[in-house]
Amino acid sequence: MTDTHKIQTDRLAELYVSQYNFNEYLGCLSDEHPELYNLISHERFSDAEQHVSKMDMSSWEFENEEMGGRGLAYNAAQKSADNRKVGMTRLLECFSSGSGIPDQNFKILDILGGDGTLARFCKKLDHQAPTIYTADISKLMIDACHAQALPCVRQSATTSLFQDNVLDGVLIAYGSHHLDSNARSQAVSEAHRTLKVGGHLVLHDFEIGGRCAEWFDSVVHPYSQTGHPHPHFSREEMFRLFENAGFCDINVFSIDDPFTLDGRSPEEAKHNAIMHMYDMYGLIKIGNTVNEIRPRLEQLISETLGPISIKQKGTRYIATIPREALVASGNK
CA 235 – CA 167 distance, rounded (Å) = 25
Q: Look up the CATH number of the domain holding residue 187.
A: 3.40.50.150
pLDDT for res 5: 32
The alpha carbon torsion through 70, 76, 77, 80 (nearest 10 deg) reads 160
In-domain check, residue 279: no
pLDDT at 1 > cutoff 80: no
In-domain check, residue 151: yes
In-domain check, residue 304: no
Going by C-alpha positions, the residue among 138, 269, 255, 130 that lies closest to residue 203 is 255
pLDDT for res 49: 60
pLDDT, one tens digit per residue, over 209-268 is: 999 999 999 999 999 988 888 899 999 999 999 999 999 999 999 999 999 999 999 999
pLDDT band at residue 17 using 50, 70 and 90 as cut-offs = confident
In-domain check, residue 307: no
pLDDT for res 11: 42
CA 287 – CA 309 distance, rounded (Å) = 23
In-domain check, residue 64: yes
Q: Which amino acid is located at 260 in the chain?
A: T
In-domain check, residue 251: yes
CA 193 – CA 6 distance, rounded (Å) = 41
CA 215 → CA 13, 247, 260, 297, 321, distances in Å?
A: 35, 31, 17, 11, 12
pLDDT, one tens digit per residue, over 122-158 is: 998 877 899 999 999 888 888 889 999 999 999 999 9
Number of domain units in the chain:
1
pLDDT for res 76: 63
CB-CB contact of 175 with 187 (8 Å): no
Q: Residue ranges of the alpha helices (H) in the chain?
A: 3-14, 22-32, 34-37, 42-48, 52-58, 71-77, 85-93, 117-124, 139-147, 181-194, 211-215, 221-223, 235-245, 266-280, 290-304
Q: What is the mean pLDDT of residues 50-68?
A: 64
pLDDT for res 19: 81
pLDDT at 66 > cutoff 90: no
In-domain check, residue 73: yes
User: How big is the chain, counted in residues?
Assistant: 332
pLDDT band at residue 62 using 50, 70 and 90 as cut-offs = low
In-domain check, residue 316: no
pLDDT band at residue 89 using 50, 70 and 90 as cut-offs = very high
DSSP codes, 147-167: HTT--EEE-BTTB--BPTT-E
Q: Give residue 119's domain range.
A: 3-258+324-331
